[in-house]
Chain A
């Protein structure tokens, strides 16, 4: 079966070289700009301190968490139908998080200082301190879990314990990441105790998009080349789950939008009415990147089509990337206590250096992904589910 994985052959090598070139170019441009101009290479400013590199990091970190949560379906909740994607989920979660961290490292003023200043500072009141601790634990658990799966240990007591620990680590890490924003009462657009739920939902949706896209990519977008249990999952309840996640994500976005527009508070109302909803890019990403794939996946016939699934995954990539961007920037566009010095909504568009970091992160995922497909069997499953199981899988999932 592994021979049908095109990433192991020449196509994978071509993709590896191309993505490596993009990654190096992105890194090189950003590094050159930063060394020549400092952080003036970014369009983030004292009025909008967190720009696109932060929203990119957020996007990758939450996609990683989403993949980690998807991995928990088979590895924690023992839904056997999802075993064919478990190992790829864990691997993707690891590399997407690594790529997000690389983007964040390039954004910070003093990256290497962080390595000693955070542990020695022990500022346990800071959610950002906990972000470091929890995402480090998340990485360790993902790596450990992957190492057990690589050793074909799917069901031992230790493997189960690591799976549960990893699941909790993902929940805590992404929930805490939400609270970095959600606890900021001075930024009313973000201030929301239920933000972790929003992050879980959008995170698992973007994780699902990544899983679908990279699974198809491994087999040259040909479902018939995939192992039978994987085919069964992709024509079974995985697209239904994808549609359901998109639906709940859209519901959450709608609720935030309605409450924001209903509010009289300018820091919330104006962000929606005069910044987000007046942006053609936002509308394009919302309607094309979230609503359209949701509608496509609602159709019983369309949602099982490989082309539709890949298209939906790619649309959701773009839709949720924009969602993260407008979330991060939207919380800062109303000037904070600046009087008429800042008499309008603060204008921010990412600079070329900021875009190059986003490209670098995305290319890094491709590089690590191809390497993973080449050197590991990411479609590996426990021996007992490789046999055809036409009627049982769905029942087990829905149970």
Chain B
């Protein structure tokens, strides 16, 4: 069984947010409920001031703290599904402990005040147990893996687009959007990335391109000091998270 991993080349990433948009469209997330986001950081002052950005999906950690804290096993790491961390919406009690425990802030409790106005939950009220029911919905739904539109009172997160990835041929080393045979199985954020800054493949396959990139280009994991060991690696300059600092209101 594969161990799915993602590699993000920050020297190629332009911070365009196409990945964020594609993720929202693919997974029917609410505005602001960004399973995939690009975080911007500004550091320093003129003349050495800099702006950096980090695309941030769920890290699908090898040792995920969210899984350890979940009192019902609603959050679980599915090794048989490539090591993806899922939320079982049938078991989640909405205690939000996983949101406290995730060092990467990738989890959302969409049953809350809208993060971005207008509130689409009031424009498209939920039906059939859904938190909201937009006119267009993706065809895939699997509440045991947190796929589809979530019900009320549960936590949601990136699934590495498991509904696509799971249909890939067995034993494939990489899911490359340039390969017409595989393009339909590539996660939405990877497929849409204009500068091709994202790569997706099997971390357990020595022949995979993602492993080659990590090895040759010195891939790093964010906040590795947490011990969570993400399955998402970053290449290039700027793969660090600056410390929080308050900004002056303008």
State in angstroms the CA–CA spacing of A114 and B226 once bound together.
29
Label chain A's interface by main secondary structure.
Answer: loop
| Residue A267 is within 8 A (CB to CB) of chain B in the complex | yes
| Residue B124 is within 8 A (CB to CB) of chain A in the complex | no
| Residue A344 is within 8 A (CB to CB) of chain B in the complex | yes
Q: How far in angstroms is the closest Cβ of chain A from B66?
A: 10
* Contacting residue for A125 out of B68, B100, B115, B119, CB 8 A: B68
What residues of A have a CB within 8 angstroms of the CB of B110 in the complex? 46
| Residue A14 is within 8 A (CB to CB) of chain B in the complex | no
B97 and A109 within 8 A (CB): no
* Contacting residue for A343 out of B91, B113, B247, CB 8 A: B247
A45 and B112 within 8 A (CB): yes
Label chain B's interface by main secondary structure.
Answer: loop
B109 and A49 within 8 A (CB): yes
| Stretch of A115-123, A152-160, A229-237, A310-318 at the chain-chain interface | A115-123
A337 and B71 within 8 A (CB): no
Residues 173-194 of A at the B interface (beta carbon under 8 Å): 180, 184-187
* Contacting residue for A184 out of B33, B74, B100, CB 8 A: B100
What size tier do the contact residues of chain B reach? 35 or more
* Contacting residue for B100 out of A49, A122, A339, CB 8 A: A49
> Contacts A40-B121, A334-B244: A109 and B93 contacting too (C-beta < 8 A)?
yes
Q: Name the residue among A40, A118, A331, A337 with the largest chain B CB count within 10 angstroms.
A: A337
A126 and B93 within 8 A (CB): no
State in angstroms the CA–CA spacing of A43 and B39 once bound together.
24
B153 and A38 within 8 A (CB): yes
* Contacting residue for A270 out of B37, B131, B246, CB 8 A: B246
A109 and B152 within 8 A (CB): yes
> Contacts A39-B153, A46-B99, A46-B109: A341 and B247 contacting too (C-beta < 8 A)?
no
A127 and B100 within 8 A (CB): no
> Contacts A39-B109, A109-B95, A109-B152: A132 and B244 contacting too (C-beta < 8 A)?
no
A340 and B226 within 8 A (CB): no
B71 and A46 within 8 A (CB): no
State in angstroms the CA–CA spacing of A382 and B140 once bound together.
68
> Contacts A46-B112, A46-B115, A121-B91: A110 and B153 contacting too (C-beta < 8 A)?
yes
A185 and B41 within 8 A (CB): no
What residues of A have a CB within 8 angstroms of the CB of B95 in the complex? 108-109, 114, 128
Q: Which residue of the partner chain B has the closest CB to A131?
A: B71
Q: How far in angstroms is the closest Cβ of chain A from B179?
A: 33
| Residue A300 is within 8 A (CB to CB) of chain B in the complex | no
| Residue A345 is within 8 A (CB to CB) of chain B in the complex | yes
A127 and B69 within 8 A (CB): yes
A110 and B154 within 8 A (CB): yes
B92 and A110 within 8 A (CB): yes
State in angstroms the CA–CA spacing of A338 and B95 once bound together.
21
B244 and A46 within 8 A (CB): no
**6 extra A-B contacts, CB within 8 A, seeds A39-B109, A50-B100, A344-B247:** A40-B119, A46-B112, A108-B94, A118-B72, A128-B97, A186-B102
